[in-house]
Amino acid sequence: FDRRTRECLEARAPLCQDDCSRAYEAFLCYYHQYGNLRWSQEYIPLPHLEAVQASIDCINILRIPRELIEQYSRAIVPNVPETQCLYRCQYLAEGLYDPQYGFNHTRFYIRHHDQPAREFLSDETRSCTEHALRDSCDECARVYRARKCFDSYSTPFFTSRIIQHAAQIILGQRGCDEDELKPRYNSIASGSYVPASHPPPPPPPSSYHVSDGGCKYNCKN
């Protein structure tokens, strides 16, 4: 398209023409190669690095504890409240979810353009997400549960890889800032800090482990 458009401009819009004629001929070159102009707003998925930056912002805003960040960096994604809210924040940042209207299935379909699946737009999938988003009083838990409606046909570990990359960057940039990243969920009544146990060894690079061991972080009685 680019080469043909350039050749068209050179042939049909020479410098000797007046400005109005050149502008019209240039418009025709673009029109014939790219089609008519579209005035509607189109959704463009965030490039990977921008999505990673959004994840970094979410991790900082939510004050995710260091132990969890370390697990994310090793492709370990525990199913805990912090993770659930991180996914909600990520989807909000990417324009995939709205608290009032729920998931935007068309945008999910576009986001996974490398593995397009019409099932994103099916009535069955819409019914699945709508049901999941009504199933709990906790919005983070609802969003985290509803995202599983896309698992069968979305790019595997798409969001997990974004979060993993973000966690690796955060640990690299803030490795010396222990106070800010120190876990706060194991504190005891006296105020002293009880170190958490070391996370399990990382899985193979190609796999992602999702733990579902119940409430562990920032739990409330």
Mean pLDDT across the chain, nearest whole number? 78
Averaged pLDDT for residues 123-128: 93
Residue 194 pLDDT > 80, yes or no?
A: no
Tell me, what's the pLDDT at 116? 73
Considering the entire predicted model, what is its pTM?
0.64
Tell me, what's the pLDDT at 189? 33
Q: Could you report the per-residue pLDDT of 1-49, keeping only the tens digit for each?
A: 577 777 887 887 666 667 788 788 888 887 777 666 666 677 889 999 9
Tell me, what's the pLDDT at 105? 93
Under the banding of pLDDT at 50, 70 and 90, the label for residue 149 is very high
Tell me, what's the pLDDT at 183? 40
Tell me, what's the pLDDT at 199? 43
Q: Could you report the per-residue pLDDT of 159-184, keeping only the tens digit for each?
A: 999 999 999 999 998 654 444 444 43
Tell me, what's the pLDDT at 174? 64
Averaged pLDDT for residues 51-71: 96
Tell me, what's the pLDDT at 191? 35
* Residue 87 structure tokens: 């996914």
For residues 61 and 93, what is the distance between their CA atoms, to the nearest angstrom?
A: 12
